[in-house]
Chain A
Amino acid sequence: MSFPWAKQYQPQGEFSKFIDSRLPLPRFIYGALGAGYPTPKNLNYFYNFGVLAGVALVVQIITGVILGMHYAANVSVAFDSVEHIMRDVNGGWMLRYMHAVGASFFFAVVYIHIFRGLYYGSYKPPREVLWMLGLVIFLLMMATAFMGYVLVWGQMSFWGAAVITGLFSAIPVVGPAIQTWLLGGFSPDNATLNRFFSLHYLLPFVTFGVIILHIWALHIPGSNNPTGVDVKGPQDTIPFHPYYTAKDFFGLGVYFTLFAAVVFFAPNALGEVDNYIPANPLSTPAHIVPEWYFWPFYAILRAFTTDFLFIPAKLWGVIAMFASILLLFFLPWLDTSPVRSNAYRPLSRALFWVFVAVVIVLGVAGGKPAEEPWVMLSQVLTAYYFAHFLIILPLVSRFEKTLPLPNSISEAVLAKYRKTGSMAPGALAQPAE
């Protein structure tokens, strides 16, 4: 589970020895998050986002369990019970804003975490399973967030549920039956609300389980690092504690500062005003949009406006939206370059930033009404999204001339300090090994 030079847990005192021979939990923590876990010494702040995502989930679970004590999952009272939380429950407004803003922050952190993995090639061997487990977590998050949004039972909740479950009706032959089955009726109603509440409560704990697998898979090869070069010896690593625990706690402080700023000063900045109108099945909001973290996928869904190859436009959109995420499961085999980090892949690095821009603009287009120029833009960028993974990456990884890799993490770190002159040349250690 770790490198041979990892420090071994030494129980101090009688109690520690007693526990260690019966339930060695302290030994487990020591090896997973403590001084017994050697970690590459060059991890930058982008490597904080895994821990931040974990903390964001814990915040969601704590605030969510509390909100569940005051919420009623029945169409006649659901909206009012949310307002009851906002106005009557002691501190309820803060808990609900923490939960709503927390969802946005969770996604923001996870998106940075995913793009970090893309930039540094963290999906490449031997971390494919780690990457795929992360995608499973992402899918679970999306399902959980969608169902949680419906619980408010505002206009956007209702019509969001109608549109998203309507996606399944695009499936030939069995689609309408599947939609009815998902809703427990012919349109979103009490049955829908109740089952979404049940699943919204369950899925975060499923997510928690998959996160444990994700961390387990991480600890087999250990973290990737900004050079993408494997750890070669003890000179390349530092113990997780106190070095990365300190770094993570600092990042957490910054995160909570930003989180508090939004919760207290702009709690509705990321939401849709229409969701403060109670759900009305007989009146549609003029402009149905999901929350911002779904916008890029919503743009892909709406990008298909004409039927072709005997498949109706609506089904194309559904297929493309699901494919845009499922494609990422195949990424380790689409990008075949042996060099992991984009720091040593100049062409791939430029294309990475193009891809980031494409996803952001897709997001902007997905948040707009389905009008020109946004439809055309969505179509072009959707085409690029798929081309990036299916054409550009495989070709680039085959033909790109990569920069020379450092011999070790240690050498790369020392070379960096030599360049910036913050270490006296005489103080340079001999290259390790």
Chain B
Amino acid sequence: MAVSQPANASPPEVLPPEGERRRDFIYVATGAFAAAGAAAVVVPLVNQMNPSADVLAMASIDLDLSSIQPGQAVKASWRGKPIFARHLTPAEIDAAKKVDVATLRDPQALSDRTKAGSEQWLITLGVCTHLGCVPLGASEGENRGDFGGYFCPCHGSHYDTAARVRKGPAPKNLEVPAYKFNTPTAVTIG
């Protein structure tokens, strides 16, 4: 540039001390461009840790409930966690409805935890909300606790027939996963 200037060119432009220089703009623009590029590269580097397509493909399961007799429950595996699907007896439904919801630690009525018209089907995660143990009570002959639902042997949490926590250290009721009925006795969980 200096070469191309005529010999009698005006002296170099004198800038006020606080003025912005063209070079400042170039620095900021370069930095911003590099930062945006780096951020764009980081996205796939971070995102690769999210569940992969094959894991997500297994994220929902179909469950046939027709063979479960009243009073029985089955265990299934969903997203690596146990699922308890239970066919409540009329007596169990009554017991769950008789409880005053306001007195519960995690106030939920049976109707909040089952689908309308299918309240005999109680589908929950088999993961104690205290420290993540698998409660007993889904298999024949297992201890169902003081309230006839599930019992966690790790730290003694008792769940009732709507799988609501009634006693022990667990803070919440057993989680109800998202599910929908395809037919009256077949559900898709997840």
Residues of chain A at the chain B interface (Cβ within 8 Å): 159, 162-163, 166, 180-182, 184-189, 191, 195, 281-284, 286-288, 305, 307, 312-314, 369-371
Contact = CB atoms under 8 A, between A and B. Distances in A.
B132 interface: yes
Interface hub of A159, A187, A284, A305 (most chain B Cβ within 10 A):
A284
Contacts of B50: 180-181, 184
Given A180-B50, A283-B134, A189 B80 contact: yes
18 contacts: A159-B132, A163-B132, A180-B50, A181-B49, A181-B50, A184-B49, A184-B51, A186-B81, A187-B79, A188-B80, A281-B80, A281-B81, A282-B75, A282-B77, A284-B132, A284-B134, A284-B154, A286-B153
B29 interface: no
Nearest to A169: B132
Given A189-B80, A283-B134, 9 more contacts: A162-B132, A182-B49, A184-B50, A184-B51, A187-B81, A282-B126, A284-B132, A284-B154, A288-B133
B155 interface: yes
B131 interface: yes
B54 to A, nearest CB: 9
B15 interface: no
B17 to A, nearest CB: 36
Nearest to A183: B51
Interface string B43-68: 00010011110010001000000000
A191 B52 contact: yes
A371 B155 CA distance: 8
Interface of B: 46, 49-52, 55, 59, 75, 77, 79-82, 126, 131-134, 153-155, 169, 171
A185 B55 contact: yes
A407 B117 CA distance: 87
Contacts of B79: 185-187
B113 to A, nearest CB: 20
A163 B50 CA distance: 19
B155 A370 contact: yes
B55 A370 contact: no
Nearest to B134: A284
Main secondary structure on A side of the interface with B: loop
Contact of A370 (B77, B81, B169): B169
**In the complex, the 6 A-B pairs of residues with the closest C-beta atoms, listed nearest first:** A187-B80, A186-B79, A284-B133, A185-B55, A284-B134, A282-B82
Contacts of A162: 132
Nearest to A281: B80
A9 to B, nearest CB: 42
B51 A180 contact: yes
B51 A186 contact: yes
Contact of A313 (B49, B75, B77, B171): B171
Contact of B55 (A166, A189, A284): A189
Nearest to B48: A184
B63 to A, nearest CB: 15
A312 B171 contact: yes
Nearest to A284: B133
B59 A186 contact: yes
A78 to B, nearest CB: 15
Contacts of B153: 286
A399 to B, nearest CB: 42
Contacts of A305: 169
A371 B168 CA distance: 11
A369 B131 CA distance: 12
Contacts of B80: 185-189, 281
Nearest to A371: B155
A11 B166 CA distance: 79
Interface hub of A184, A195, A313, A371 (most chain B Cβ within 10 A):
A184
Contacts of A189: 55, 80
Nearest to B155: A370
A188 B132 CA distance: 13
Contacts of A287: 154
Contacts of B133: 284, 288
A185 B52 CA distance: 8
